[in-house]
Amino acid sequence: MTRPALLPFASRSIGFVLFGLILLYFLPLFFSLSAAEENPIEPEDMVLIPAGSFWMGLDELPPDSPWGQEDARPKHRVSLPAFLIDRYEVRYGDYLRFDHNHVLADRTSDTPVTQVTWTDADNYCRAIGKRLPSEAEWEKAARGEDGRAYPWGPRYDPSKSNTGPGPKPVGSIPGDRSPYGVFDMAGNVSEWTDSWYRAYPGNTYKSTDYGIFQKVVRGGAFNEKQHFADEMFAQTTFRNYNRPHHAGPDNGFRCAKSLPVK
């Protein structure tokens, strides 16, 4: 009597073993990719700002304010998806590699770039796969979710930001650090955003500058002649603006980046 062949059984056994080995190899990779999607890794020199709402604008002025911020009213909740933003303002040395003709006298490579138009800033961010932050993204990154007046807290402290006569290396003032770990949002240079200068929802202040011809500029800055209202310019709610083709001696920028849509 002929014994039945063992080959089909052996083939199935080998198949199960191979399938198990494949699972053992790919399952950790699958779970690591899933975790990376839920918890994106921060690229070097960028900070992850989590999704959620925050208080934008103000109703009552901080006690340090020398005059009003009518265009920053009313205080309102804004919800944003998660995004990435540069930990530091764009350095002069990095920008110079992008535009060799943008030579600034008496400037070191680690100080923030200035004298850039909105178009210059937008082109730089796009060239490295990023973008300019919106005004709301900038404010959330600067003040966190608790509506603080300054990146460090409720009261002005001149030692915690650079509003002096010249720029300093980015991140060199530890006190000018937001709740998320973003530096130089109260001083050093003011920063371009991607938003047009418009009234907030519910705002009744009338301005001939509202519209789609001025881009919002955020954050305090150094100033050779010293603004007498440094504390107001350093506030997280303070709004400034400029035409996209203008460049300022104390105006720079930082980049942001959207996260993949799931």
Question: Nearest 5 degrees, angle CA 63-CA 68-CA 73?
Answer: 100
- Lookup: tokens for 156: 């002005």
Helix %, strand %, coil % for the chain, to 5?
25, 15, 55
Whether 18 is in a domain gets the answer no
Q: What is the number of structural domains in the chain?
A: 1
Helix ranges (DSSP H) in 87-172: 92-98, 118-127, 135-143
Residue 204's pLDDT is what?
A: 94
CATH code of the domain containing 111: 3.90.1580.10
- Lookup: tokens for 116: 């850039």
Residue-range definition of the domain harbouring residue 114: 42-258
Check pLDDT > 80 for residue 47.
yes
Check pLDDT > 60 for residue 88.
yes
Mean pLDDT rounded to a whole number for the chain: 86
What confidence category does residue 75 fall into, taking pLDDT thresholds of 50, 70 and 90?
Answer: very high
The residue that leads in pLDDT, 64 or 115, is: 115
- Lookup: tokens for 94: 């990095």
Whether 124 is in a domain gets the answer yes
Whether 235 is in a domain gets the answer yes
What whole-number percentage of the chain has pLDDT above 70?
82
- Rounded Cα gap, residues 136 and 223, in angstroms: 25
Residue 64's pLDDT is what?
A: 81
Check pLDDT > 80 for residue 212.
yes
Q: Render pLDDT for 172-182 as a digit per residue (tens, 0 to 9).
A: 999 999 999 99
What confidence category does residue 223 fall into, taking pLDDT thresholds of 50, 70 and 90?
Answer: confident
Q: List the one residue out of 158, 135, 137 whose CA is nearest residue 233.
A: 158
Q: Mean pLDDT over residues 150-163, rounded?
A: 94
Q: Which of 134-138, 212-216, 219-223 comes out lowest in average pLDDT?
A: 219-223
Whether 197 is in a domain gets the answer yes
Check pLDDT > 60 for residue 246.
yes
Buried b (16+ CB within 10 A) or exposed e, 85-123: bbbbbbbbebbbeeeeebeeeebeebbbbbbbbbebbbe
Q: Render pLDDT for 95-148 as a digit per residue (tens, 0 to 9).
A: 999 999 999 998 999 999 999 999 999 999 999 999 999 999 999 999 999 999
Q: What single letter denotes the amino acid at residue 174?
A: P
The residue that leads in pLDDT, 20 or 72, is: 72
Q: Mean pLDDT over residues 85-101, rounded?
A: 97
What confidence category does residue 43 fall into, taking pLDDT thresholds of 50, 70 and 90?
Answer: confident
Residue 23's pLDDT is what?
A: 38
What confidence category does residue 44 fall into, taking pLDDT thresholds of 50, 70 and 90?
Answer: confident
Whether 8 is in a domain gets the answer no
How far, rounded to the nearest angstrom, does the alpha carbon of residue 4 sit from its chain's CA centroid? 71
pTM (2 d.p.): 0.83
Whether 33 is in a domain gets the answer no
Check pLDDT > 80 for residue 225.
no
Whether 11 is in a domain gets the answer no
C-alpha neighbours within 13 Å on the C-beta side of residue 9: 3
Check pLDDT > 80 for residue 202.
yes
Whether 2 is in a domain gets the answer no
